[in-house]
Amino acid sequence: MMTETRYDVLGLGNAIVDVIARTEDDFLAKHKLNKGAMTLIEEARAEALFQSMGPAEIISGGCAANTASGVASLGGRAAFIGKVRQDTLGELFAQNIRAFGVDFETLPATSGPATARSFIMVTPDGERTMNTYLGACQGLGPDDVAERAVTMSAFIYLEGYLWDPPLAKEAFRKAAEIAHGAGRKVALTLSDAFCVDRYRDEFMELLRSRVVDILFANEHELKSLFTTEDFETAVAALRDMGALGVVTRGANGAMTVTREDTVAVPAFPIERLVDTTGAGDLFAGGFLFGLARGFPEKECLRLGTLAAAEVIQHIGARPQRSLKELAEQEGLAG
C-alpha cells in the first residue's frame, strides 16, 4: 500500500558548491578544458584552477539539488539527500538549499575530503564548462538514504553523476528499490554526454530492467546513449525502451516520448542568454513538479521550459525569481 505523500520530489545527488567565473575560449584552450563538458578533477587541480580563474561567484549547486530547489520555488515540496563535509562550504551548501525551502537532513562528514566544488567557466556564448572535485560527495552511501523520505516522495530524482563514486551508486540502487517497493516512480537524468560515454551499458540496463521509469536527457546525451548522430534514430530507440522519455532541445524546446505518443513544446522566450548552468536541472524541476500535481504532459513541459528560461538569464544554477509567481503570470498552474 502506498504511504502518504510528503514530498513531490526527493533528489539524490552530489552536494556541490559552484565556483562560477566568466572567461574566454582561449582560457579553456590554455588550461586544456573540454568546453561544454563536466570533467572530474583531483584536489590539486581544483586549487590550481581556483587560483587562475579570476573573480568568481560562489553559489550552492549540484544537479539534483538544483532540481529540488526549482520544485520548491514553484511552490512544491522537495527534499534532497547528498553528502557534504562539516566545513565552511558544507555549511554554505546546507544554508542555501534550506533557504529555498528544501528539506536537507543528510548528516555531514566530520572527517575525510572537503565539501565538493565545481569550477564553472562561462564563455561569452553562455556555454558552461565544469571541472568538478567530488570531495565529500564520494562518501555518500546507502546508509544516507532515508527510507521514510523515499517512501513519502511521489518522485525520486537521481542524477547520472552518481555513477562516478562507487558508494553513491549503491545509494542510487537502494533508493530506487525502496521507491518501487512503495509504489513510487524513479527518474534519472543522464547529466552529461561524457557521463553517458563512461556508463552507457549500465544506464541502458537501468532502463531495460525498469529501475528507471522516467529518463531526462538533452539531444547530445540521448544520441550518445544510443550511439547515433541522428536525433530521430535516438528518439525511436528511446520510444522502444518503454520509459517516459523527456528530452530537452535547447532553443528548439522540449518533448516527451512514450510508446504511444510524442508531445512537444517550443522553448520559453528569453531576453538574453547569460549562463546555461542549471538549465536541464531547472527544467526537470518544473516538469516533475507538474507531474506530481497531475498536470498534462504539455503543461509539465511548459513549466520545465519556463524554469529553464529563468535560470539561463543570470549567473548561477538556482532561481533568482519566484518560479511560482512567474508560472502564475504566464497562466500556468503554480
Find the mean pLDDT for residues 32-50. Answer: 89
Residue of 36, 206, 51, 189 whose CA lies nearest to 126: 36
Whether 205 has a pLDDT exceeding 80, the answer reads: yes
Sign of the C-alpha dihedral computed for residues 142, 147, 151 and 154 taken in this order: negative
pLDDT in tens, 6-17: 999 999 999 999
Whether 230 has a pLDDT exceeding 80, the answer reads: yes
Q: What is the pLDDT of residue 1?
A: 46
Q: What is the pLDDT of residue 333?
A: 65
pLDDT in tens, 70-89: 999 999 999 999 999 999 99
Task: For the chain, give the percent of residues with pLDDT over 70.
Answer: 99
> Is the Cβ–Cβ distance between 76 and 8 less than 8 Å?
yes
> Is the Cβ–Cβ distance between 45 and 94 less than 8 Å?
no
Spatial separation of the C-alpha atoms in residues 204 and 242, rounded to whole Å: 12
> Is the Cβ–Cβ distance between 67 and 9 less than 8 Å?
yes
123-132, 203-212, 226-235, 259-268: lowest mean pLDDT where? 123-132
Whether 218 has a pLDDT exceeding 80, the answer reads: yes
pLDDT in tens, 154-186: 999 999 988 888 889 999 999 999 999 999 999
> Is the Cβ–Cβ distance between 69 and 285 less than 8 Å?
yes
Q: What is the pLDDT of residue 76?
A: 97
Ordered by where they begin, the domains of the chain are: 7-14+62-110+138-328 (3.40.1190.20)
Spatial separation of the C-alpha atoms in residues 191 and 40, rounded to whole Å: 13
Find the mean pLDDT for residues 275-304. Answer: 95
- Set of cell numbers at residue 51: 587560483
Task: Please state whether the predicted TM-score (pTM) of the whole model is above 0.75.
Answer: yes
Q: What is the pLDDT of residue 229?
A: 96
- Set of cell numbers at residue 315: 549567473
Task: Tell how far CA 277 is from the center of its chain.
Answer: 10
- Set of cell numbers at residue 65: 539539488
The amino acid present at 132, given as its one-letter code, is T
Q: What is the pLDDT of residue 2?
A: 53
**How does residue 3 score in pLDDT terms, banded at 50, 70 and 90?**
low
Sign of the C-alpha dihedral computed for residues 92, 320, 146 and 205 taken in this order: negative
Cβ of 236: how many Cβ atoms within 10 Å? 13
Spatial separation of the C-alpha atoms in residues 236 and 241, rounded to whole Å: 9
Spatial separation of the C-alpha atoms in residues 310 and 73, rounded to whole Å: 11
Q: Compute the mean pLDDT over every residue in the chain, rounded to the nearest whole number.
A: 93
Residue of 166, 114, 159 whose CA lies nearest to 135: 114
Whether 49 has a pLDDT exceeding 80, the answer reads: yes
- The DSSP secondary-structure symbol of 3 reads P
